[in-house]
Amino acid sequence: MSALAFALVALLLVGPVPAMLARASWPLRAPRAAVVLWQSIALAAVLSAFSAGFAIASRLFVPGRDGRPTATITSEVHALGWPLWLLYVAVFALTVLVGARLVVAIVQVAIATRRRRAHHRMMVDLLSTSHDSAPAVCTQASGLRILDVAQPLAYCLPGVRSRVVVSHGTITTLSDGEIGAILTHERAHLRARHDLVLEMFTAVHAAFPRFVRSASALDAVRLLIELLADDAAVRVAGPTPLARALVACAAGRTPSGALAAGGPTTVLRVRRLGGQPNSALLSAAAYLAAVAVLVVPTVALAVPWLTELERLFAA
C-alpha cells in the first residue's frame, strides 16, 4: 500500500497538480512564493517516485518460513512466486531508470546550456560596439554589450562571466528611465541566478516519461521568474518605464540559453504592472503549501513504511 500511495502521489505531482497550478491566476500576485511551491512540487514528485520504487524493492525481502526476511533470489521467488517477483523487480528497475535519466538530464542540460552561452558570449564580445554614444545609464553598467541591431532587444547571459546585451535600437528607442528599468530587469536575473531554477525544472521534465509529465511547469516557471525580475525593476524605476520598455522589446528574439526581457508573455506582464500589487497573504499561503507538499507525504507515507521495514528486519 505504501508503494501504491507513493506512486499515486508521484503521478499527481507530475501531471494534474502542475496543470491546475499553471492555470491559476494567484501566482501573478505572489511570484516568489509560487516559485518555491513549484520547486517543492518537483522535489516531492522525485522523492515520491523513488520512494515508490524502494517500497516495492523492500517487498523482495518478504519474510520466509522462518519469519526472517528473504536474502537470496531463490528464496524470494519461492516466497513470492515468479509473477510477483518479476513485477517487483520491474518496478524497481523503472525507478532506477528514472533516477539515471534524472542524473543524465541534469548533466546534459548543464553542459549544453553552458556551451551555448559560452559560444554566444564570445560572439557578443566580438560584435559589440563602443559605449561612447550610449547614455550614461549604459556606461555605468558593468558587463554590458551593445549590438549594432536596429530592432529593440535586451537579454542577459547568466554564468560566471555574465553579460547583459542590448541593441542600438533599444538605446535609440527608449528613454534613459526605460533603459535603466530594462537593465535592472536583466541584472535581477543574473543576481538571483534564475537560470539555475530553469535548469532544474528542465532536467526534471526530461527525466519523467512523456506520458505522465506536464509541460505546463516549465512555462509557468519561466513566467514567474520574469515577474520576479519585473518586480525588481519596478522597485528601482517604477511600473510605467518598465511597461514601455517591455512593449518596445516584446518582439526581440531570445537566444538559446539567455533570459530576455521580451517574449510571448509581455502582454500579461504589462497588464500585471497596472493591476493589483503582490499579496503577502497569498505568499504566506503558498509557502505553507510548499512545506505541506514536502512534509505531509513524508509523515503519512514514509514513516509507516520505515516502521514496517524496521519491524521486518528486526524479526
Give the per-residue SS3 of 129-189.
CCCCCCCHHHHCCCCEEEECCCCCCEEEECCCCCEEEEEHHHHHHCCHHHHHHHHHHHHHH
Grid coordinates standing for 95? 525507478
249 within 8 A of 218, measured Cβ to Cβ: no
How large is the average pLDDT for residues 167-196?
Answer: 92
How large is the average pLDDT for residues 279-300?
Answer: 89
Confidence at residue 35, expressed as pLDDT on a 0 to 100 scale: 95
Confidence at residue 43, expressed as pLDDT on a 0 to 100 scale: 86
- Select, from the ranges 8-17, 203-212, 288-297, the one with the highest average predicted confidence (pLDDT): 288-297
Among candidate residues 118, 260, 250, the one with its CA nearest the CA of residue 198: 260
**Looking at per-residue confidence, does 63 or 110 come out higher?**
110
Alpha-helical (H) ranges within the chain are 2-14, 16-23, 31-58, 73-80, 82-127, 136-139, 168-173, 176-192, 194-207, 216-237, 239-248, 266-273, 280-297, 303-314
Confidence at residue 142, expressed as pLDDT on a 0 to 100 scale: 74
For the sheet containing 163-167, what is the strand order?
144-147, 163-167, 154-157, 259-260
Confidence at residue 137, expressed as pLDDT on a 0 to 100 scale: 79
Grid coordinates standing for 246? 517591455
What pLDDT band is residue 71 in, cutting at 50, 70 and 90? low
55 burial (CB, 10 Å; 0-12 / 13-18 / 19+) is buried
The angle, 0 to 180 degrees and rounded to 10, between the axes of the packed helices 31-58 and 16-23 is 170
Indicate the SS3 state at residue 44: helix
Residue 284, domain member (yes or no): no
Residue 282, domain member (yes or no): no
Residue 165, domain member (yes or no): yes
**Looking at per-residue confidence, does 133 or 127 come out higher?**
127
How large is the average pLDDT for residues 94-118?
Answer: 87
- pLDDT, tens digit, for every residue of 1-31? 567 777 788 888 887 888 899 899 999 999 9
Residue 92, domain member (yes or no): yes
What pLDDT band is residue 66 in, cutting at 50, 70 and 90? low
For residue 295, the one-letter residue type is: V
Residue 283, domain member (yes or no): no
236 within 8 A of 186, measured Cβ to Cβ: no
12 within 8 A of 49, measured Cβ to Cβ: no
The average confidence (pLDDT) of the chain is 84
Residue 89, domain member (yes or no): yes
In the chain, the percentage of residues whose pLDDT exceeds 70 is 84
Grid coordinates standing for 64? 520466509
Contacts 24+ apart (CB under 8 A), 209-216: 209/98, 212/11, 212/14, 212/15, 213/14, 213/15, 214/14, 214/15, 214/18, 214/19, 214/22, 216/18, 216/19, 216/21, 216/22, 216/23
Residues 6+ apart with CB under 8 A from 106: 199, 200, 203
- Select, from the ranges 4-8, 97-101, 107-111, 134-138, the one with the highest average predicted confidence (pLDDT): 107-111
Confidence at residue 63, expressed as pLDDT on a 0 to 100 scale: 61
- Select, from the ranges 62-71, 178-187, 213-222, the one with the highest average predicted confidence (pLDDT): 178-187
- pLDDT, tens digit, for every residue of 215-229? 778 889 999 999 999
**Looking at per-residue confidence, does 270 or 55 come out higher?**
270
**Looking at per-residue confidence, does 144 or 55 come out higher?**
144
| Predicted confidence (pLDDT) at residue 269 exceeds the cutoff of 90 | yes
Indicate the SS3 state at residue 69: strand
Residue 152, domain member (yes or no): yes
Q: Number of folded domains in the chain? A: 1
| Predicted confidence (pLDDT) at residue 112 exceeds the cutoff of 70 | yes
Confidence at residue 240, expressed as pLDDT on a 0 to 100 scale: 95
Stretch among 127-136, 146-155, 191-200 having the lowest mean pLDDT: 127-136
Residue 243, domain member (yes or no): yes
Q: Which domain, by its residues, includes 254?
A: 2-277+289-314
For 138, 146, 181, 260, the CA distances from 177, given in Å and listed in that order, are 11, 17, 6, 18
Provide the sign of the torsion angle of the four alpha carbons 31, 301, 50, 13, taken in this order. Answer: negative
